[in-house]
A and B are shown apart, each in its own frame.
Chain A
Amino acid sequence: MAVQVKQESKLSVNVTHRVTSYKCPVSSKKGGCGGKRECQGGFREQIVGAGFAPDVSSYYTTQAEVRAYQRESVTKGDKMNSRGLRSQLKDSVPVAGLCPQGAYGLQDSLRSGFTSIKNELLPSHPLELSEKNFQLNQDKMNFSTLRNIQGLHAPLKLQMEYRAARQIQRLPFLPSSNLALDTLRGSDESIGFEDILCDPAQSEMMGEPHMMVEYKLGML
């Protein structure tokens, strides 16, 4: 699919500008709080993932890049709405979830041993990225279709409910049932590989409780 190809080429060409501009609702400035994690949750993934370059300017794609991207899609004969594409590029769970986070964005050799740059940047299996982002991409697709059909209010209301349901969780090292979230999504009526394989409630390893809570609260 054309969208997938564009996503990957953007990743390989320009790694530090991977996270496009986003608006964190807690801190009102564009680009968020620059890693201070005052929001304690919602946008932490983007902030943590862009830990490569902690300065705020790297959170934006430049205007030149946006124009080049739009020009590209026109010359390739795609008649699709490139604005919709841009909204799909941002907010995806970044690859650097593979890379451990320490202070100043460097890897923490004491905790995770020696790593090669290649292992941190590129996924080792073709499906790894697409599986990581699958739920996110499905939701985005569905919400943008809903927005086009019924107007802005429909995805807005639904996302408000999702945000509320997502907060019903136990402490990070304990397994949460996510019952409300499942019911909203409709995944309580279907079964897939994520229900059978690697069930976190039955994992043999437990994370260190204090570390995990500190990580979640941003104190680490």
Chain B
Amino acid sequence: MALSTVLETPGAGFNFDNAARNAALEGLFEGGQTPKPLKTGTTIAGVVFKDGVVLGADTRATSSDVVADKMCAKIHYISPNIYCCGAGTAADTEKTTDLLSSNLSIFSLNSGRNPRMVMAVNILQDMLYRYHGQIGANLILGGVDCTGNHLYTVGPYGSVNKVPYLAMGSGDLAALGILEDGFKHNLELEKAKELVRAAIHAGIMSDLGSGNNIDICVITKEGVDYIRPYQESEYKDDRKMKYKYGPGTTAVLTEKVIPLKLEVVQETVQKMETV
């Protein structure tokens, strides 16, 4: 449909046409609230150990007061040697990590190398700063590259921190307590996994927005071990019976068949040139 009011093609990227309408609608709901985007309300944690990096996350996604997803995957793939945990608005973390992953794979196809952590962090920082915090993504990036094992955090406004252990999300205070108590430099693999598991567990116990299972991702120079789920929640519900109904469960009362009569009005034959 051609519109006579459009004099220039609209630009690509974000479209702010509805912002004024949304602001006007805010006041109209009379006590109710505009629907909130899906937030992950999370506990995520990461630890640098002797041979690499361990990342952990819970698997609950909440939408205001309801658990929207019990098996949400919060550890995203960025590149073969870099993984990223995301807290904040679920759609924002998904899309941002997807874009980052695409950019890094274009780069590695161009240059023939595995991307470095600093490149991922800089791309993210530039992207998030450009939108001044409107993209609600709190990310923990962990990876192993030719310069060593690194753990970075990137905030929604573009702030970057490089640390040996880290927790983020709504359950981060409880998780950080466990990490502060148990962290030592150059931990062994099993101790590091146990530390991250205990940190996420503390977050799950103390925070309403985190829960269900725990995922762990171990990144080393040899490869990645993505254990999902590492520990299942003890409060898993058990379906007591099957809800599938066999044929014949519902009784048929009456049956009426009306045949649809079609008559051929016109027949044309078109020859196809199959040379």
List residues of chain A with CB under 8 Å of any chain B CB: 100-101, 111-112, 119, 123-128, 130-132, 134, 172-173, 175, 189-200, 203, 205-209, 211-212, 215, 220
Which residues of the other chain, B, contact A172 by a CB distance below 8 angstroms? 8-9
Pair count A-B, CB < 8 A: 99
A sample of 9 cross-chain residue pairs with beta-carbon separation below 8 angstroms, ordered by A number, consists of A126-B132, A128-B19, A198-B13, A205-B3, A207-B2, A207-B4, A208-B3, A208-B4, A215-B8
Q: Is B146 an interface residue (CB 8 A)?
A: no
B106 touches A190 (CB 8 A): yes
State A6–B77 Cα separation when bound (angstroms): 41
Contact A212 to B6, CB < 8 A, known contacts A124-B23, A189-B106: yes
A125 touches B10 (CB 8 A): no
Tally of contact residues, B, Cβ under 8 A: 30
| Shortest distance between the CB of A186 and any CB in chain B (Å) | 11
Q: CB within 8 Å of A: which of B18-73?
A: 19-20, 23
Q: Which of B1, B13, B106, B134 contacts A197 (CB 8 A)?
A: B13
Closest to B107 in A: A189
B7 touches A207 (CB 8 A): yes
Q: Which of A124, A125, A190, A206 contacts B3 (CB 8 A)?
A: A206
| Shortest distance between the CB of B28 and any CB in chain A (Å) | 16
Q: Which of B2, B11, B14, B99 contacts A127 (CB 8 A)?
A: B14
A198 touches B3 (CB 8 A): no
State A111–B19 Cα separation when bound (angstroms): 22
Contact A211 to B14, CB < 8 A, known contacts A126-B132, A172-B9, A190-B103: no
Q: Which of B10, B13, B110, B130 contacts A203 (CB 8 A)?
A: B10
Which residues of the other chain, B, contact A123 by a CB distance below 8 angstroms? 16
Q: Is B12 an interface residue (CB 8 A)?
A: yes
Which residues of the other chain, B, contact A128 by a CB distance below 8 angstroms? 16, 19
A127 touches B134 (CB 8 A): yes
Closest to A194 in B: B13
A205 touches B14 (CB 8 A): no
Q: Dominant SS at the B interface?
A: loop
Which residues of the other chain, B, contact A206 by a CB distance below 8 angstroms? 1-3, 6
Which residues of the other chain, B, contact A131 by a CB distance below 8 angstroms? 13-14, 16
| Shortest distance between the CB of A94 and any CB in chain B (Å) | 14
Q: Is B268 an interface residue (CB 8 A)?
A: no
Q: Which of A134, A190, A195, A215 contacts B7 (CB 8 A)?
A: A215
Which residues of the other chain, A, contact B130 by a CB distance below 8 angstroms? 130, 134
Q: Is B250 an interface residue (CB 8 A)?
A: no
B13 touches A193 (CB 8 A): yes
**A-B contact sample (12 more), CB < 8 A, given A127-B134, A192-B13, A211-B4:** A119-B20, A127-B132, A128-B16, A131-B13, A172-B9, A175-B9, A190-B106, A200-B11, A207-B4, A208-B2, A208-B3, A215-B8
State A173–B3 Cα separation when bound (angstroms): 11
Which residues of the other chain, A, contact B3 by a CB distance below 8 angstroms? 205-208
| Shortest distance between the CB of B244 and any CB in chain A (Å) | 40
Which residues of the other chain, A, contact B14 by a CB distance below 8 angstroms? 127, 131, 193, 197-198
State A175–B107 Cα separation when bound (angstroms): 27
Q: Is B5 an interface residue (CB 8 A)?
A: yes
Leading 3 A-B pairs by shortest Cβ distance: A207-B6, A194-B13, A124-B20
Which residues of the other chain, B, contact A189 by a CB distance below 8 angstroms? 106-107, 110
| Shortest distance between the CB of B113 and any CB in chain A (Å) | 14
Closest to A215 in B: B7
| Shortest distance between the CB of B25 and any CB in chain A (Å) | 12
State A220–B6 Cα separation when bound (angstroms): 13
| Shortest distance between the CB of B23 and any CB in chain A (Å) | 7
State A7–B20 Cα separation when bound (angstroms): 22
